[in-house]
Chains A and B, each alone.
Chain A
Amino acid sequence: MEYSANAPKCVLAANRISKSFGAVPVLFSVSFDICEGEVHALIGENGAGKSTLMKILAGFEPPTSGSILLDGAQTDLPPNGEAEDLGIVLIHQELNLAEQMTVEENIFLGRELTSRGFLDRLTMRRQVEVLLEQVGLDIAPTARISDLSIAQKQMVEITKAMNRNARILIMDEPTAVLTPSETELFFQQVKQLKKRGVGIVFVSHKLAEVKEISDRVTIMRDGQWIGTKPTSTLSLDDMAQMMVGRELSDLYPPMDEVDVDAPVILAAENLSAGKVKNVSFDLRKGEILGFSGLVGSGRTELFEAICGLLPVDSGVVRFNNEVVNYKSVSQARNAGLSYLTKDRKGKGLLLAQKMAPNMSLFSLPKFIKNMMIDQKAEEKALARGIRRFDIRTRDADISVGDLSGGNQQKLLLAKMMETDPRVIIVDEPTRGIDVGTKQQIYHFIAALAAEGVSVVVISSEMPEIIGICHRVFVMREGRIMGVLSGNEINENEIMRYAAGLKEAS
């Protein structure tokens, strides 16, 4: 324990942990410790072993070798989340709440208070009210989880952990789905938890947030421990370089200017659909168009409507100078318009299936020969996709759910490109993905644009919008607030439009 000298009291420590799944080693002698009242960030590329380490720390997986120390004493953590009783709570990226139950029922789930054999609803209600107020969460204890936003659900998870007197809170990318203002609120909660002496393990791909909130950073790469340092001694570039192990100066690809004479390929005029109101835009051949704005500003709905996933209320869409109104995704696909969902696991990939059927699903008609699926062609397509998008797997036969997030995203890109699209719409293309894979995806997008494919990038991450887009539309509450190009594309301008402080007339 090289760092415990100046640290306060170390609560939980992993000492030279190694882990193998079958014959495949994923962690090599990793040490990690977490003290009272500190935020310890854990960063690394997808597949670096962060998830495995977290699961071991929370008792969900036993280590193959090495030991876990709790309060300095060697311990075998109980499996299946029973470590919660020891004060170690893991908050998963996919939140673990019973959707159809209320906030208070969820917070007390599994440890309900009873009096004389019946639920003591009154006491529970009061405790939940107090907790919610401490967290600053303005929802009723009787609200149903399914009615809450993702940020609120996350807060409920944290409240639930607090109610269990958590001493160690392990959070897997808690801010991935939060807006900047929600993140701000979330960080305030984290600071309060720190004051109470809770030790927090914070896993994130957003290095700026790591810099802001954490006290120490541990960097992992390929299952190895690369280093643990006080956050104050590291710059963002240092962190990125330690994660990737190489220079990352070229995170964003060089941009080709769009030909001024390039024809407009996709355009909308006064399009309304659901909460999208009166939106007009145009997209040229080979152009990368950014759509920025806060979560819920109607960007996804706009393009789902164009691609036949949602009904259009009014307005006109032109594709290749023809007025179109796609009623189904297959019509849009056949025309050469493909939408890549931001919900990789819920709407993008069949997690229980293998890679080949996932890869060909979107473009299956292409693989039909004599009414049957041409399985050889499917295998070839998969091999092609793996090569083109650098999908890394130990074994091409594994279920897609077992791939890392970055590889899943690459597979999703490959799946979309099998339809030979002329326009692609990528929604949050790098959500929950490490820096190295992000860089690759930016280069793929730029290369596609250079080949003449037009790209729409919907993203809540401003640096990537600024880094790869030719022009940027900013949306707010279903409407377009402004269009930026060239030097106007900067965080300040985008933020002013997105927050409604400025509007193009």
Chain B
Amino acid sequence: MSDTEVINKQSKRAFRLDLKAMGPALALLILCIVGYSLNSAFLSEGNITNLLTRSAFIGIIAVGATFVITAGGIDLSVGSMAAVISGVMIIIMNNLIGTFGAGVTTILIGCGCSLILGVGAGWINGVLTTKGKIEAFIVTLGTMGIYRSLVTYFADGGTLSLSFDLRGTYRPVYYDSFAGLPIPVWVFIGVAVAGWVILNRTAFGRYCTAIGSNESVAKYSAVNVDRIKTTTYVIQGFCVALATIIYVPRLGSASASTGVLWELEAIAAVIIGGTVLKGGYGRVGGTILGALILTTIGNILNFTDVISNYLNGTMQGLIIITAVWLQRADWSKKKV
């Protein structure tokens, strides 16, 4: 008799866990059904690809944020970082036309610089938090302001535009497709898979979780806490750089309004996906769904007149709060 009880308990637990993990997927499914019932064009191939491409920026950045948050940190600077990297990248490429022409070489050097800048900016955030022993919130609040003002300064208060000679060469990175999916979506998929493997299957990922759960325990268990934490910010910077590389050919320009509030969208995607804000538990798969959910809300509002498009932020905010509320509430305990 006790055996059957144990089995019952286990199957119940597995089911409950699934329900929690499946929450974001369910939410996305419901959103899709709502979208389709409002306008059948929602599920058209064109719209789906558009949705995925738009999710790619936030999604890629949010994968990086998943690492930072899982290890107990936070990075508020990602939006400004993306803006300043776009700006510097455009300046560098424009200046290289004279030397290397408007070909692939210039673009590749530009992309290389972008990655170096991203990794460098992340490293600065990381070192200031770990070696400087300043709270991540304060460090990244500071760098957020610095990067945002730098891009304004470089653009002299206006807009930095990519030379028209280069746009033709660079354009395909955002607009072309490979095997039916736009290139940004492929990058997104690549980052998501790599992120999942690193977080769930490598020692580094395990260490991130350990540090986020309890830094002292990690330290006493021979984890190099400072190095791991710094690395999470470097990964975040790298992801921002990747997102920038596919973002620049979209508009071919950067200004003070580039990437505004991306940090909040990235953090929101991570939290909707089930990662715990104070660290110790991270889910890359959830983050991907979170990014898709956020983009889908905006997309649905574009399709319908029922709710004004200006209320996009309101809808996103409601979804974030509801998602976290659903995750926190322990339905099984309440009934006892």
Contacts and interface: CB of A to CB of B under 8 A. Distances in A.
Report the contact-size class of chain A (Cβ under 8 Å from the partner). 20 to 34
Given A333-B222, A372-B201, A348 B206 contact: no
B16 interface: no
Nearest to A357: B206
A371 B2 CA distance: 42
Contact of B221 (A329, A351, A367): A329
6 contacts: A22-B9, A330-B224, A346-B214, A347-B214, A350-B210, A352-B213
Contacts of A349: 217
Interface string B198-237: 0001110011011001101111111110000000000000
A319 interface: no
A347 B217 contact: yes
A373 B204 CA distance: 10
Interface string A377-404: 0000000000000000000010000000
A403 to B, nearest CB: 15
A373 B219 contact: no
B220 A341 contact: yes
A364 B9 contact: no
A328 interface: yes
Contacts of B202: 368, 371-373
Interface string B173-217: 000000000000000000000000100011100110110011011
A373 B201 contact: yes
Contacts of B221: 329, 361-362, 415
B223 A361 contact: yes
Contacts of A365: 203
A321 interface: no
B209 A353 contact: yes
Contacts of A415: 221
B23 interface: no
Interface string B226-263: 00000000000000000000000000000000000000
A365 B223 CA distance: 10
B112 to A, nearest CB: 25
B330 interface: no
B305 interface: no
B222 A330 contact: yes
B285 interface: no
Nearest to B227: A328
A260 interface: no
B48 to A, nearest CB: 33
B18 interface: no
B280 interface: yes
B206 A328 contact: no
A23 interface: yes
A353 B203 contact: no
A390 B44 CA distance: 60
Contacts of A23: 2, 5-6, 8-9
A339 interface: yes
A329 B217 CA distance: 12
B281 to A, nearest CB: 8
Interface of B: 2, 5-6, 8-9, 13, 197, 201-203, 206-207, 209-210, 213-214, 216-224, 280-281
Contacts, number: 76
B9 A329 contact: no
A445 to B, nearest CB: 20
B68 to A, nearest CB: 19
B91 to A, nearest CB: 38
Contact of B217 (A350, A364, A367): A350
A367 B281 CA distance: 21
Contacts of A341: 220
Interface string A9-36: 0000000000000110000000000000
A352 B214 CA distance: 9
Contacts of A137: none
B203 A329 contact: no
Contacts of B219: 309, 329, 347
A223 to B, nearest CB: 15
Contacts of B9: 22-23
A-B complex: 3 closest residue pairs judged by Cβ atoms:
A329-B222, A330-B222, A347-B216
Contacts of A368: 202-203
A333 B210 CA distance: 18
A22 B221 CA distance: 34
- Greatest chain B CB density within 10 A among A309, A349, A353 is at A353
The CB with the most chain A CB atoms within 10 A, among B2, B214, B221, is that of B221
B203 A373 contact: yes
A350 B206 contact: no
Nearest to A374: B201
A348 B217 contact: yes
A294 B197 CA distance: 48
B222 A328 contact: yes
Given A343-B216, A350-B280, A352-B280, 15 more contacts: A329-B219, A339-B220, A346-B214, A347-B214, A347-B216, A348-B220, A350-B214, A351-B214, A352-B281, A357-B206, A361-B223, A362-B221, A365-B203, A367-B203, A368-B202
B206 A364 contact: yes
Contact of B210 (A22, A339, A361, A397): A361
Contacts of A347: 214, 216-217, 219-220
Nearest to B207: A364
A346 B209 CA distance: 16
Contacts of B223: 329-330, 361
A296 to B, nearest CB: 19
A329 B214 contact: no
